[in-house]
Amino acid sequence: MSVVTTNKLQNILEIISDSPPVNALGAAVRQGLVDGIEQALSDDEIEAVVIRCEGRTFFAGADITEFGKPPVGPNLGEAIDRMEASEKPVVAAIHGTALGGGCEVALACHYRVAVPSAKLGLPEVKLGLIPGAAGTQRLPRVVGAEAALPMVVIGNPISAKKAAAIGLVDKVVGEDSLADDAIAFARAQIGKPVPRSSAGNANQDGVKNPAIFDEFRAKNGRKLRGFDAPNAGIEAVKAAGEMSYEDGVAKERELFMKLMSGTQSAAMRHYFFAERAANKVDGVDPKIDLIPIKKVGVIGAGTMGGGISMNFLSAGIPVTILEMKQDALDRGVATIRKNYENTAKRGRMTAEQVEGAMGILTPSLHYDDLADCDLVIEAVFENMDVKKDVFGKLDEIVKPGAILASNTSYLNVDEIAAATKRPEYVLGMHFFSPANIMKLLEVVRGEKTADNVLVTAMKLSKKIGKVAAVSGVCDGFIGNRMLSPRQQQANAMLMEGANYWEVDDVLLDFGFPMGPFQMSDLAGIDIGWHRDETRIETMRDALCAKGRWGQKVGKGFYDYDESRQRVPSDEVKELIAEWGAKEGKEQRDISADEMRERMLYPMVNEGAMILEEGMAQRASDIDVVWINGYGWPLFTGGPMFWADTVGLDKVVAGLEKHGLPVCDLLRSKAAAGEKFNG
Ligand code: 3H9
């Protein structure tokens, strides 16, 4: 059966797409739309058209899997121009998400009706692109440049209500009566002149007040740093006001094609599929019986435990949070409330939602209260004996069939599991701090972890808004394991004469939000310090002994002012020089290229070892971990994709030049001219 069918209802033609899972606008769908419109135009009995989709959503965009391949079938821009040109009114009936090309289809229709739960957006920028089927030209003409800018340049979808408020949706219709309401709406338009988005004039707001473009750029500068597509988006929206529609479309095409053939978009498209692939467990039937998670226990009400709890509370899953002492418990619960209230103050939650989340939180001082939890996550002190003790207790108390998870960031999950009589129900769930905000979840698969336990954790991660990847049991798992060689090289370069702020700047220029020494300052240099000011065995001991514990005390590697601006410190410079002399390393100038290679190539090598040992399922999982957990710039696609774009032979040569190890997998892939991804 064709993916697009038509249904004649007296004088109305419904064009219905049914192309699971998301009605992406692949070649067959585009052809179906063209055929449907032709049928409507050539049938004299038809006076109006409704375009709608079956399944979970209206068109969610162009078919991304077609990108980079030779074009097949009618092109989307031409297909939708035919709709707009029609003298018979064409109505888009929207449910689910009208995204990208889907939103462009809707814009080319003369009218848009949507159910209240629908969302509309142009998320192309998240794929390193701008809309390419005239979306940047039609949208500002309908809603104005000011309202179009965030949609095109940031790419977050908006609700049907908001869309109606800005004029993108003509009518919000019944949640369960979309098809009928759209037909009635279409009938009511018969005989009226059709409004065409391409002829709209709302775009003139940007011509009258051109400052909106620079203001928008300035306001969002930090968020957009390093990305090419947002600037192209601003340029295209501006052009929509300054140029004729035809010239604007040509401008959009030029910008779109340039982005499409560039590395950034390839990297971001890679990431789109990588994130989805990471959630899948190879060799396990995705339909495996899952363990229903209706109640979660969290041990520890500190920063980590509190943050972890919030993820579940926000998703409507009740949490029992356990502490050893009443005051620590009270403090933890108060922090959770404060965090929620701050979110509400910023308008991202209602007061009822705050109370709703707090209402399903049960504070407790007794392990017994965890007995009926379906999942218990411990976030206690990072020490094997402490963890084993906790798991031994949990094994006694928590009902059989429940999952026991550790939030450890380094420890051996198999050893922890061995403290229980149910190692198949034990795994690691490594959240990143602040756990209510950071997207990444490393799910650590123990040697004995059962498949359904693992898949339950992966599916649950999506429910609580996390991006998860599976890691095997190894020191530091995927993320921290790869951080270690980077830090080693950063430290080594200081001893050889590099300035630490230059080392940081190299990673900032690469696109990281901060460099290794800024990161140490933020995390706290004193973490894990022995606290004996007279015992100075490392440079870190020396920094700590001088009270340079990091940003929290206003000085670490850098000095910080009240607005937390960093300034290199003379005291630290001297200390480093002293330690460099002690190590007897030759002091020399180190170039930015060398710094970058020495920090990033060893990470690629470590990633290759992780793959070699089977600790990650696929190279793209490593990219997902580093992008979501450590600020690796998305526009490079993650460490492994980036290495592919650099060329693995070049990475190997770089490592050798700097006297750094090269593992077998990296060497053999480089020799064979292969890539990690594809
Ligand atoms: C565009 O439109 C360019 C135009 O301006 C110009 C044209 C000339 N294509 O995310 P899910 C797959 S650019 C192909 O897990 P959810 C996805 O890979 C596009 N495949 O579901 C997954 O496959 P699998 C602009 C797609 O319910 C499955 O569908 N549009 C596409 O969590 C389910 O996806 C976008 O950027 C696609 N467009 O979320 C929207 N979309 O099961 C991208 C999805 O094998 N899509 N798949 O892993 C989304 O944001 C989400 O998929 C959506 C549903 C919100 C729709």
Q: Are residues 12 and 130 located together in one domain of the fold?
A: yes
- With respect to residue 667, please indicate whether it lies within any of the assigned structural domains: no
Q: What is the CATH number of the domain that holds 356?
A: 3.40.50.720
pLDDT tens digits for 210-267?
Answer: 999 999 999 999 889 999 999 999 999 999 999 999 999 999 999 999 999 999 999 9
pLDDT of res. 564 = 87
- Tell me what pLDDT residue 582 has: 87
Query: Is residue 283 one of the residues assigned to a domain?
Result: no
Query: Ligand 1, atom 54: nearest CA belongs to which residue?
Result: 22
* CB-based burial label for 405 (10 Å; 0-12, 13-18, 19+): buried
**CA dihedral sign of residues 168, 171, 174, 180:** negative
Out of 476, 509, 534, pick the residue that ends a domain: 476
Q: Is the pLDDT of residue 678 over 80?
A: no
Tell whether 442 and 503 lie within a shared domain: no
Q: Are 194 and 337 within one domain?
A: no
Tell whether the model's pLDDT for residue 158 goes beyond 90: yes
Q: Check whether residue 308 and residue 442 sit in a common domain.
A: yes
DSSP letter assigned to residue 580: H
Ligand 1 first shell, C-beta below 6 A: 21-22, 24, 57, 60-65, 76, 97, 99-101, 104, 123-124, 127, 131-133, 135, 276
Name the residue range of residue 525's domain. Answer: 497-583
pTM of the model: 0.95
* Mutation probe of ligand 1 site: the residue of 3, 19, 22 with most atoms within 8 A of C-beta: 22
Strands in 48-53's sheet, in edge-to-edge order, are: 4-9, 12-17, 48-53, 90-94, 111-114, 171-172
Q: Mean pLDDT across the stretch 521-537?
A: 90
**Same domain membership, residue 230 and residue 107:** yes
Sequence-distant (6+) residues with CB within 8 A of 399 are 371, 372, 373
**Could you tell me the CATH number of the domain that includes residue 45?**
3.90.226.10
Does residue 385 sit in the same domain as residue 471?
A: yes
Query: Do 163 and 95 belong together in one domain?
Result: yes
- Among residues 548, 583, 618, which one ends one of the domains? 583
Instruction: Record the tokens describing residue 295, joined without a space.
Output: 């109640």
- Distance from the alpha carbon of residue 214 to the mean position of ligand 1, in angstroms: 31
Phi then psi dihedrals of residue 511, to 5 deg: 125, 0
CA proximity to 173, closest of 110, 118, 115, 97: 115
Q: Quote the number of domains for the chain.
A: 3
Q: Are residues 45 and 78 in the same domain?
A: yes
Contact status, residue 407 vs residue 378, Cβ threshold 8 Å? yes
Check pLDDT > 90 for residue 103: yes
The tokens of 121 are what?
Answer: 């957006």
- Residues 70 and 160 placed together within one structural domain of the fold: yes
Cα of 61 from ligand 1 centre, angstroms: 7
Examine residue 630 and state whether it is found in any structural domain, yes or no. Answer: no
**Domain contains 269:** no
433 and 510 housed in the same domain: no
Is 571 a catalytic site residue?
A: no
pLDDT in tens, 353-410: 999 999 999 999 999 999 999 999 999 989 999 999 999 999 999 999 999 999 999 9
44 occurs within a structural domain: yes
Q: Last residue of a domain, which of 551, 583, 615?
A: 583
